[in-house]
Amino acid sequence: MSEKEQDNTTHFGFRQIPVDEKVRHVADVFHSVAGKYDLMNDLMSGGVHRLWKRITIERSGARPGQCILDIAGGTGDLTRKFARLVGPAGKVILADINDSMLKVGRDKLINGGTAGNVEYVQANAEALPFADNTFDIITIAFGLRNVTDKDAALRSMQRVLKPGGKLMVLEFSKTQNLALTKLYDFYSFNILPQMGKLIANDAESYRYLAESIRMHPDQETLKEMMEAAGLVNCRFENMTGGVVALHTGIKP
């Protein structure tokens, strides 16, 4: 089922808003948090986001000479590691719809010595500006839940994958334990906005981020959406009790 509702509204956190306004609202959130994004990621997850990303890199099977697309790549954590793995014969494209995030990521990577085999593209995941059958691997980490029409985005990703190419979706998901769920909810809706207020002077953006996690499809639903987009061998791996899940699928 498409994210676009019959009454032409969609969710922004727990609110319903017109479909054509969601991109602007999400952009406002990430313009606001871009400068503190890395710091807040470390604080919010206790640094565990680095482990989730490392597992994603390990599961990717990336190798020299490949072409990789990192969608919603933000500040470039995955891009930096992929650039090292594909080497000078390969290429990594860091794509993000938000120009503030893209600029932070570009500056961070260039200042850190990652430059030669990385390109930067401002792009909407729902209509990727790339030719069919271009990429060996596509990743989208903590970005799919912010996309207005997730089904369209998955179809777009499937289109630009090479046959045999792999899509990897790393995203917050649904916890598998009642006690963990209660603790996670308390943290998300009480602690997280206060951290956002203290560190980034923006409680509302972090309240939205917590709400957007709850509105994201569960593990089985996202797997079915990937299959509906034309991917095969779709599966998911829960991390940290289902707080995060890594979904993978292959283009036939």
* 124 marked as binding residue: yes
pTM of the model as a whole: 0.88
Task: Tell me how many domains the chain contains.
Answer: 1
* 75 marked as binding residue: yes
- Whether 172 is in a domain gets the answer yes
203-240, pLDDT tens digit by residue?
887 888 888 988 899 999 999 999 999 999 999 999 99
- Whether 188 is in a domain gets the answer no
81-112, pLDDT tens digit by residue?
999 999 999 999 999 999 988 999 999 999 99
* Angstrom distance (rounded) from CA 135 to CA 118: 14
Residue 17 pLDDT more than 80? Answer: no
- Whether 99 is in a domain gets the answer yes
Residue 2 pLDDT more than 50? Answer: no
Question: Can you give the pLDDT at residue 114?
Answer: 87
- Whether 196 is in a domain gets the answer no
Domain with 100 in it: what CATH number?
3.40.50.150
**Any idea which of 25-34, 145-154, 170-179, 202-211 has the lowest mean pLDDT?**
25-34
Relative orientation angle of helices 192-200 and 19-33, to the nearest 10 degrees:
60
> DSSP of 186-238, one letter per residue?
HIIIIIHHHHHHHHHS-HHHHHHHHHHHHHS--HHHHHHHHHHTT-EEEEEEE
